[in-house]
Amino acid sequence: MEYTSPELLTINSARLLRDGDVVFVGVGLPNLACNLARRTHAPNLVMIYEAGVIGAQPARLPLSIGDPTLVSGALAVCSMYDIFALYLQRGNIDVGFLGGAQIDRFGNINATVIGEYSHPKVRLPGSGGSMEIAAWANRCYIITPHQKRRFPERVDFRTSAGFLDGRQEREAAKLPGKGPLAVVTDLGILEPDENGELIITALHPNATLDQARANTGWELKSTPELRITASPTEEELRILREDLDPQGIYLEGGG
Amino acid sequence: MNKVMSLSEAVNKYVHDGDLVYAAGFTHLIPFAAGHEIIRQGRRNLVLARATPDLIYDQLVAAGCARKVIFSYMGNPGVGSLRIVRAEIEAGRLEWEEYSHFGMISRLQAGASGLPFMPMNPTAAGDLERANPNHRTVVDPYGGGSVVVVPALKPDVAIVHVQRADIDGNAHIWGIIGEQKEAAFASSRVILTAEEIVDEGVIRSDPNRTLIPGFIVDAVCHVPYCAHPSYTQGYYDRDNAFYLEWDEISKTSEGVRAYLDEWIYGVKDRAEYWTRLGPEVHSRLKVTTRPSAVVDYGNY
């Protein structure tokens, strides 16, 4: 079956979730991935939105992080301070999803600025909750298109911590979260090696290692045996297209 | 005490040039009508604080009301870039002060609690802490490691939109409650806008839903549809189409000028604005009902 690049990203992200995970969800592809997982292999997934909504069961596709459909039928709603303090800082979040303009060799993310901070060439939205999610969620996953400009050797600004300058540095910082455990791209999946450096461990069907290397800003290493991810199934695509994003707001384009 | 007044009177009385303003609401209950009134009254040199500046601060900056923004996520939620604020920052014409979401609301929490600062666990992403020296690190006096601290945020005036309030300003809020309560308690003055003004008995029938007590409120304004294009849970939906439209409008200064002229300077108040939006928008934003189960407090 044919599928778009956002569909590929969403489906492979959904497969990383485990049943019972408590997930800090963002809008867009992470939201779709979580809802897909909930309707397939992870029916007991608990979705938490940084707007302060716990156990959301959105009846329609939320178009912003504070969409009212997240509230109606949710388990609980709390203040923004409580969601960050009691839920995230306290260590109650299993999984966080992250994205950003730049992701570097050690999984550090820039969502703040291109160029110099005080004289920005391009001013990006900034941290939002990503600084804390990257540090405190037990597992983090990054979803991003695989493009050279998005994968520099070093980010211009470290908005959120991956493995800093190597795994030992993150371990020395004693952060409760394990850091970015996978980067899902439209070419494959990158995972940190023993030094915290992102290496490619899986390719999607039809993608090649050369393609991945050509679109990465550092010398991309790979595992000796590259896994090939399973193609999106008809069922996964059906749920995404018919139930979750019937208008193709997030899933079309970029295909 | 009856604090009911028009929004125009409240802004005139309680929002001054140079004030630090916190118009609250994390995507929900954003008091757009108050932002528009501030623009109409031509306030200048405001410092605008919000976790998410949203379109309300994009419009205030476009109208020349602000000298500085304090924020933690500067985007058009669900759409992309917040064009005006971003362009002004890139051009060096607008000061800014930046935090993570947790840093921003920790500042408010400190302000609301009467504390000088608030501690947070470290995140190891040091660049923002270096870029904004309001972040400091202190050693945990009880042993262990160190914590990052941020200073209390104490706005001159908070503007908070609510579903219902009585004439004294005791206010019920439900749905996403964001930082409404903290903004109100942190600020010197509080302007409340409400979809409905209700009898005190309605408030007393469900005291757990009262987030803001009347005695910290200065003005109570009855402003139905105050939050459009944001929304009020249970009253009307978010106008996502307008959030997309603003992305187009804000691409050119002519577009922005035309918008301000038609929808802010060209209307007297929110009632006229709402009428001008027309029946198609009204019906698109209608919501059907989904009441909670009744809570019984017991008769003691």
* CB-nearest partner of A174 from B86, B145, B237: B145
Helical segments of chain A, H only? 5-14, 29-39, 80-82, 130-136, 167-172, 209-214, 234-238
Tell me: do B261 and B129 sit in the same domain. no
User: Computed over its alpha carbons, how large is the radius of gyration of chain A?
Assistant: 18
Which pLDDT does position A253 carry in this prediction? 61
Tell me: do B136 and B159 sit in the same domain. no
Residue range A136-147: average pLDDT? 97
Chain B residues within an 8 Å CB radius of A120: 89-90
Tell me: do B47 and B177 sit in the same domain. yes
Tell me: do B170 and B273 sit in the same domain. yes
In a domain, A250, yes or no: no
Closest residue by Cα to residue B274 from B289, B263, B284, B265: B263
Substitution target in B30, B82, B93, B102 with the highest count of A β-carbons within 10 Å is: B102
In a domain, B296, yes or no: no
Closest residue by Cα to residue A133 from A155, A109, A115, A157: A109
Tell me: do B92 and B25 sit in the same domain. yes
DSSP label at residue B102 = H
Range of the domain at A109: 5-244
Number of separate domains in chain A: 1
Please give the ipTM for the structure prediction.
0.96
Tokens matching residue B297: 């407090």
In a domain, A252, yes or no: no
The amino acid occupying position B221 is C
Range of the domain at B146: 117-151
pLDDT, tens only, A19-50: 999 999 987 899 899 999 999 999 999 999 98
Locus of tokens 């592809």: A29
Pairing of strands B20-23, A113-115: unpaired
- Asked whether the beta carbons of residue B121 and residue A67 sit closer than 8 angstroms, the reply is no
pLDDT surpassing 80 at residue A97: yes
Q: Are B180 and B108 in contact (CB under 8 A)?
A: no
- Asked whether the beta carbons of residue A128 and residue B177 sit closer than 8 angstroms, the reply is no
In a domain, A189, yes or no: yes
Tell me: do B231 and B178 sit in the same domain. yes
In a domain, A196, yes or no: yes
Pairing of strands A95-98, A22-25: parallel
Tokens matching residue A166: 């190597």
Q: What CATH code is carried by the domain that includes residue B86? A: 3.40.1080.10
pLDDT, tens only, A109-130: 999 999 999 999 999 999 999 9
Tell me: do B172 and B127 sit in the same domain. no
In a domain, A251, yes or no: no
Number of separate domains in chain B: 2
SS3 of B261, please?
A: helix
Tell me: do B215 and B259 sit in the same domain. yes
Tell me: do B277 and B216 sit in the same domain. yes
In a domain, A254, yes or no: no
A79 at the B interface (CB within 8 A)?
yes
In a domain, B1, yes or no: no
Q: For the sheet containing B117-120, what is the strand order?
A: B117-120, B146-151, B136-139
Substitution target in A31, A80, A104 with the highest count of B β-carbons within 10 Å is: A80
Q: State whether the Cα torsion B186-B230-B276-B196 is positive or negative.
A: negative
Tell me: do B128 and B178 sit in the same domain. no
Tokens matching residue B158: 């908070």
Strand-pairing partners, residue A192, are A198
Q: What CATH code is carried by the domain that includes residue A118? A: 3.40.1080.10
The amino acid occupying position B189 is R
In a domain, B94, yes or no: yes
Say how far apart CA A49 and CA A143 lie, in whole Å.
17
Chain A residues within an 8 Å CB radius of B89: 120, 123
Confidence tier at A255 by pLDDT (50, 70, 90): very low
CA nearest to A113 within chain B: B90
pLDDT, tens only, A194-229: 999 999 999 999 999 999 999 999 999 999 999 999
Tell me: do B89 and B171 sit in the same domain. yes
In a domain, B32, yes or no: yes
Tell me: do B157 and B133 sit in the same domain. no
pLDDT, tens only, B41-90: 999 999 999 999 999 999 999 999 999 999 999 999 888 899 999 999 99
SS3 of B291, please?
A: coil
pLDDT, tens only, B102-144: 999 999 999 999 999 999 999 999 999 999 999 999 999 998 8
CA nearest to B87 within chain A: A123
Closest residue by Cα to residue A127 from A153, A150, A109, A149: A109
In a domain, B227, yes or no: yes
In a domain, B109, yes or no: no
Q: Are A244 and A61 in contact (CB under 8 A)?
A: yes
Burial class (CB in 10 A: 0-12, 13-18, 19+), A235: exposed
B-facing residues of A in 83-142 (CB < 8 A) are 84-85, 88-89, 108, 112, 117-123, 125-132, 134-136
SS3 of A154, please?
A: coil
Residue that finishes a domain, picked among B134, B151, B168: B151
In a domain, A255, yes or no: no
pLDDT surpassing 90 at residue A94: yes
Residue range B36-43: average pLDDT? 98
